[in-house]
Amino acid sequence: MWIYEKKLEHPVRVTCPDVKFAKMVITQYGGPDGELSASLRYLNQRYSMPTSQAKALLTDIGTEELAHMEMIAALVFKLVDGATCADFKAAGWEGQYVQHDHGLFWTDANGIPWSAKYIACLGDPITDLTENMAAEQKARTTYEHLIACTDDPCVKDTLRFLWQREVVHFQRFGEALNEVQEWMCKSKHVWNGHNCGCD
């Protein structure tokens, strides 16, 4: 179904390793508003979308979120490249070193593992698309926080790219929400508990 290109969607570079910042960035790998949660949410919700356009959008964005998860993984890995146990301890992230060394694991910035409770699927397209718009805004805000916490211009470049994509996804979900609401009204479906009143 997918064609995998052996390159990142956007270059990921770091000026120098920074284990302390890697501990923060990992939340976009496995945190509640991270890229894993987004990709699984959208690729799952697409099945209950009523229009082909909405299904296609969720498939496209869900797939792109997998690419963003790959970028975050590359960023974290570069930020801990060559780090020792002492470096992880100095960053307050010794649990990561003990359990995973330089390997990646889906957690948030506090070390809490990823959970399926982070994703939602109500089966109602309006509810789910609204949830997705909120999810994109939460991810955007998280990227803004991360950008504010680093002085590395290379890292900022990667994070700004991801920030921009969250904004675009929010806009596309808003367009899909309008399209689905129009479809439901024209098809004389009921939404929000009331008849649309369309003839």
7 domain-assigned: no
78 domain-assigned: yes
pLDDT at 195: 54
d(CA 92, CA 197): 58
Cα 156 to chain centroid, rounded? 17
d(CA 12, CA 155): 7
pLDDT at 111: 94
Tokens of 112: 């809490």
**In percent, how much of the chain has pLDDT > 70?**
93
11 domain-assigned: no
Give the tens place of pLDDT for each residue, 104-153.
Answer: 999 999 999 999 999 999 999 999 999 999 999 999 999 999 999 999 99
146 domain-assigned: yes
pLDDT at 1: 65
Mean pLDDT over all residues of the chain?
A: 93
Q: What is the pTM of this model?
A: 0.91
Domain that holds residue 40: 19-114+122-195
CATH of the domain at 71: 1.20.1260.10
1 domain-assigned: no
Please report where in the chains the tokens 């470049």 appear, as a residue: 157
Count up the domains in the chain and report the number: 1
9 domain-assigned: no
74 domain-assigned: yes
Give the tens place of pLDDT for each residue, 38-63.
Answer: 999 999 999 999 999 999 999 999 99
